[in-house]
């Protein structure tokens, strides 16, 4: 599922020294695909005021009597702990109870996506998704209501479906609220002209943001060229002219056509009583009437392909890219599992054929291979990023050679297929530990034809043979099925036919699945309750530990460890080597090659991350209880005896430089960096100095493998650090295993933390940065305060910020900037505490069209001034308290996030009682305290603001 990473989230992933790291910017395998039309397009809609324009469809409400359990529908089928029901009006229901998480997720999936759009309707499904957050007569401000309950929520649009989901603290009241909300907006949403006028510009802003990425646009162009008739060739986000011109009447018609009870699936997952959930759904959805006119199924079948195609994109940028797309069967087809295995065989790092042929040879800096399941035949896409001084034509030839011509002389091996199967199943197994994620995943499979495909696909992957994968490669990865290249006449016709989707009624008729995954315990996320269960102590050297053993779904466990090293003086001339050290350590040991190490992780169903930042070596592990000790032993070898191969070092350095070159014209990279430079007034010889992009490129170019090896040999050891483990494990076993790895691993080099105190006296200023040919601009601003996060003033300021722009999509900035003015797809403010430095950063950011930058600045300033002058209201304060505390509670239900909290509690010499103290301060905060903190700290004149975008082109138009 696609989630847009906000500029603040993206750039706050920089190292703890405050300098963005190029290696943190390297996208994961599917990032490019995720940004294109083939995955859900996420809407982050604003709240709305009520209106009498739409009349509610009569239905029972939360106040009506709950249905008698004897009258509830009986399960149609149950597979591995998931039960399916259906109401008389056609509403499909999936219930997935899980006692181990103190949350409940409600997901309503409407089976309509961009595949169902007609002429002039491109993007209508996505636009309508935005509009369903604008309210109903009974729920006039949906984001506000969800935010006040501490919910994580969103809506996403894909090719075959649109879904709306919220994860809330587990309670009957929250479940009833969420179910009634979804039933209400299914049929009673305001689809008003005034809302469309503002939201249209927001969606257009989202469209423009995508236009900033040449790779993303290239992907869309390839897919558009690949399809002659099928709507999969159109971007989910739509066509700009359709977005701008769609009449509200047409949008209402689209809504009434597809948003109906016989076209939805309601999924409830998490901690809840199944009978109560079923009765609640019956009461909310049962009375909804089915329209007399049925929905006509789409019937367009893409014709067989009889020749390769070419698409060329020319835009401003510094990194080249070449790609190829091939038509493949639907996600429900037996060949799809083999196609997914092919994407691993091709694109995996380091075993992938494309990686070995193009990245290891330095022809490309990065390669991707990806395929996603649709209801009807889709695409396999491969992309290679090429450094600007390399031959794009040579890369194109090599890409096609690997994809099409290598299978005969270099056939797929049994080992490749087994590795691919193991990786696919491992990722699926790790994701299955979170029921809220499963709820959304099930909606994707349901949109492909049947939710049971979630399990059938697993079975098909397990049953894959090398013969099947070879057959699929030779069937679909062929010239006439390719989109990239030229049309060349041939003596006889060559056509590639893609099989149609199978009849799932036949395929799944007798499917029963397996035993359900073992559930975890009911866990109370109250910080004081957590602390009573935490085991703390000293392990070895200067390593402290905090352990929280608890039963989890599927026996999962999360481990996080921080090894601290170096001083501000000893590390200042080694920054490039430090950035590369951890990633290079993760690429093999003296006993295991990079590929062998990855294969071991896959065998042990472990996700392992090792990386270094300035003064910090970080290790993160997620695996199963039965494998944890063996994974720790493997990671011990990574820490103490890494291979530190020179060839891998060169590949990593090239990737870092390529990413930085790519960011030289990106607003999302330049604006935050400029603000951080201004707010870090250190000389160049200070380790805290924030480099320019050119300086950082040179930093990596100057780094040597000898520096990296010396860093590892001389600086790393057990002299200082923290260990946190949460999940299914035996404390004694884990402590013994970690101690065995760290004991005797010492260094004579001292550790001294690099402090970063606040700079509240830096004068406010505004800087404009030109980024040619970028249709989306970024405003990024920040100021710093000397303030402890344990001070009651910080809690008061937190609430003030929450009202200003921190409350998800319901805040003053979101209401004004996005909903009323339609100036930005994303606007937010945030507070970031640095406990060790007694420092707090306020950050405000928004994306916009370059034309609107002056108006955007004016509107944001007006809202800040209004907050300072008038303060928050009692109602806003109460809502902010509830929302903040509920969201904090939800964050502690995730084992990985809880392990991070425990790790930081060790680093800051605190316990979870400090969290309880902060939350009590939130509860106790009076309106006078909050308004006083706002007046004392928030100063718009002190904001350092950077605006990056193509402003000169906009001025020329005027």
Give me the half-sphere count of Cα atoms (radius 13 Å) on the Cβ side of residue 530: 27
Q: Are β-strands 944-949 and 765-770 bridged in parallel, bridged antiparallel, or unpaired?
A: parallel
pLDDT-based confidence at residue 2 (cuts at 50, 70, 90): very low
CA–CA distance from 192 to each of 54, 237, 258, 865 (Å)?
Answer: 8, 20, 18, 30
pLDDT-based confidence at residue 22 (cuts at 50, 70, 90): very low
| DSSP label of 818 | I
- Contact of 636 with 621, CB cutoff 8 Å: no
Is the pLDDT assigned to residue 411 strictly greater than 90?
yes
Q: Give the helix/strand (H/E) hosting 152.
A: strand 152-157
Is the pLDDT assigned to residue 303 strictly greater than 50?
yes
Task: Tell the residue number behind the tokens 């000898």, with chain if given.
Answer: 706
CA–CA distance from 841 to each of 75, 782, 786, 796, 828 (Å)?
Answer: 52, 7, 9, 15, 14
Which pTM value belongs to this model? 0.77
Range from 17-21, 475-479, 519-523, 625-629 carrying the lowest mean pLDDT:
17-21
Mean pLDDT computed over 668-683:
95
CA–CA distance from 742 to each of 13, 557, 639, 746, 753 (Å)?
Answer: 28, 20, 9, 8, 21
C-alpha span between 354 and 386 (Å, rounded): 13
Mean pLDDT computed over 12-23:
34
C-alpha span between 623 and 674 (Å, rounded): 39
Is the pLDDT assigned to residue 644 strictly greater than 60?
yes
pLDDT at residue 64, rounded to an integer = 45
C-alpha span between 526 and 891 (Å, rounded): 11
Task: Tell the residue number behind the tokens 């290598």, with chain if given.
Answer: 406
pLDDT tens digits, 149-171: 989 998 888 888 999 999 999 99
Residue environment code for 493-529, b if the CB has 16+ CB neighbours within 10 A, otherwise e:
eeebebeebeebeebbeeeebeeebebbeebebbbee
pLDDT tens digits, 103-148: 999 999 999 887 877 776 777 788 888 888 889 999 988 988 998 8
Range from 193-197, 358-362, 466-470 carrying the lowest mean pLDDT:
193-197
Is the pLDDT assigned to residue 225 strictly greater than 90?
no
């Amino acid at each position: 599922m696609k989630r847009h990473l906000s500029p603040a989230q993206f750039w706050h992933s920089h190292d703890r020294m405050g300098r963005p790291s190029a290696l943190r910017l390297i996208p994961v395998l599917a990032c490019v695909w995720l940004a294109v039309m083939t995955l859900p397009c996420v809407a982050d809609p604003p709240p709305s005021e009520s209106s009498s324009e739409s009349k509610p469809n009569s239905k029972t409400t939360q106040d009506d009597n709950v249905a008698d359990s004897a009258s509830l529908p009986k399960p149609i089928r149950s597979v591995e702990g998931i039960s399916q029901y259906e109401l008389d009006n056609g509403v499909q229901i999936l219930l997935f109870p899980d006692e181990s998480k103190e949350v409940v997720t409600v997901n309503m999936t409407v089976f309509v996506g961009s595949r169902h759009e007609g002429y002039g309707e491109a993007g209508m499904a996505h636009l309508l998704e935005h509009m369903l957050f604008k309210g109903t007569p009974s729920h006039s401000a949906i984001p506000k209501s969800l935010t006040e309950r501490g919910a994580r929520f969103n809506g996403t649009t894909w090719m075959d479906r649109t879904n709306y989901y919220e994860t809330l603290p587990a309670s009957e009241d929250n479940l009833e609220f969420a179910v009634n909300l979804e039933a209400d907006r299914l049929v009673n949403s305001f689809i008003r002209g005034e809302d469309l006028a503002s939201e249209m510009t927001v969606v257009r802003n989202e469209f423009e943001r995508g236009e900033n990425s040449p790779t993303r646009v290239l992907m869309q162009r390839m897919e558009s060229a690949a399809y002659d008739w099928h709507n999969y060739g159109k971007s989910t986000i739509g066509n700009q002219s359709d977005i701008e011109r769609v009449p509200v009447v047409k949008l209402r018609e689209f809504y009434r056509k597809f948003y109906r009870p016989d076209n939805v699936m309601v999924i409830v997952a998490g901690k809840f009583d199944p009978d109560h959930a079923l009765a609640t759904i019956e009461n909310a959805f049962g009375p909804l009437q089915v329209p007399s006119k049925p929905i006509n199924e789409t019937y367009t079948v893409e014709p067989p392909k009889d020749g390769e195609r070419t698409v060329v994109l020319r835009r401003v940028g510094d990194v080249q890219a070449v790609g190829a797309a091939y038509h493949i069967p639907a996600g429900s087809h037996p060949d799809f599992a083999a196609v997914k295995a092919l994407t691993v065989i091709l694109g995996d790092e380091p075993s992938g054929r494309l990686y070995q042929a193009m990245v290891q040879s330095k022809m490309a800096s990065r390669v991707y291979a990806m395929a996603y399941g649709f209801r009807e035949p889709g695409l396999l896409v491969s992309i290679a990023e090429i450094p600007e001084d390399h031959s794009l034509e040579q890369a194109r030839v090599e890409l096609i050679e690997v994809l099409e011509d290598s299978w005969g002389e270099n056939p797929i091996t049994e080992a490749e297929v087994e590795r691919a199967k193991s990786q696919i199943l491992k990722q699926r197994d790790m994701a299955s530990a979170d029921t809220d994620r499963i709820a959304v995943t099930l909606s994707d499979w349901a949109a492909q034809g049947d939710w049971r495909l979630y399990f059938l696909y697993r079975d098909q992957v397990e049953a894959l043979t090398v013969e099947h994968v070879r057959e699929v490669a030779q069937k679909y990865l062929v010239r006439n099925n390719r989109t990239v290249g030229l049309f060349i006449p041939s003596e006889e016709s060559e056509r590639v036919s893609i099989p149609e989707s199978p009849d799932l009624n036949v395929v799944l008729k007798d499917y029963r699945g397996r035993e359900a995954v073992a559930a975890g315990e009911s866990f109370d996320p109250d910080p004081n309750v957590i602390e009573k269960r935490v085991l703390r102590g000293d392990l070895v050297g200067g390593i402290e530990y905090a352990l929280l053993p608890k039963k989890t779904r599927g026996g999962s466990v999360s481990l996080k460890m921080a090894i601290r090293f170096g001083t501000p003086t000893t590390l200042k001339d080694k920054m490039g080597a430090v950035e590369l050290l951890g990633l290079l350590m993760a690429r093999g040991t003296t006993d295991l090659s990079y590929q062998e190490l990855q294969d071991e992780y896959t065998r042990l169903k472990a996700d392992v991350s090792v990386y270094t930042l300035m003064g910090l070596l970080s290790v993160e592990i997620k695996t199963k209880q039965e494998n944890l000790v063996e994974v720790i032993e493997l990671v011990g070898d990574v820490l103490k005896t890494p291979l530190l191969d020179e060839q891998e070092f060169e590949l990593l350095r090239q990737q870092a430089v390529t990413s930085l070159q790519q960011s030289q014209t990106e607003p999302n990279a330049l604006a935050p960096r400029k603000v951080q430079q201004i707010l870090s007034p250190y000389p160049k010889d200070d380790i805290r100095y924030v480099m320019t992009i050119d300086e950082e490129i040179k930093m990596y170019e100057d780094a040597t493998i000898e520096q990296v090896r010396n860093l590892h040999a001389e600086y790393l050891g057990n002299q200082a650090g923290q260990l946190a483990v949460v999940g299914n494990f035996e404390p004694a076993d884990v402590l013994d295993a970690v101690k065995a790895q760290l004991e005797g691993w010492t260094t004579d080099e001292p550790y001294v933390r690099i402090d970063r105190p606040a700079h509240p006296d830096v004068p406010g200023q505004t800087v404009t940065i030109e980024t040619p040919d970028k249709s989306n601009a970024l405003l990024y601003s920040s100021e710093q305060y000397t303030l402890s996060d344990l001070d009651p003033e910080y809690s008061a300021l937190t609430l003030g910020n929450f009202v200003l722009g921190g409350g998800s999509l319901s805040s003053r900035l979101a209401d004004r900037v996005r909903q009323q003015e339609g100036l930005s797809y994303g606007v937010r403010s945030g507070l970031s505490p640095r406990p060790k430095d007694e420092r707090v950063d306020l950050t405000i950011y928004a994306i916009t069209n370059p034309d609107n930058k002056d108006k955007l600045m004016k509107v944001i300033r007006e809202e800040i001034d209004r907050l300072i002058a008038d303060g928050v209201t009692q109602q806003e304060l109460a809502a902010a308290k509830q929302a903040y505390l509920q969201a904090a509670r939800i964050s502690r239900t995730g084992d990985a996030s809880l392990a991070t909290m425990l790790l930081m509690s060790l680093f800051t010499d605190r316990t979870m009682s400090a969290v309880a103290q902060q939350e009590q301060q939130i509860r106790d905060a009076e309106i006078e305290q909050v308004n006083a903190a706002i007046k004392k700290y928030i100063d718009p004149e002190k904001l350092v603001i950077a605006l990056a975008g193509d402003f000169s082109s906009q001025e020329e138009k005027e």
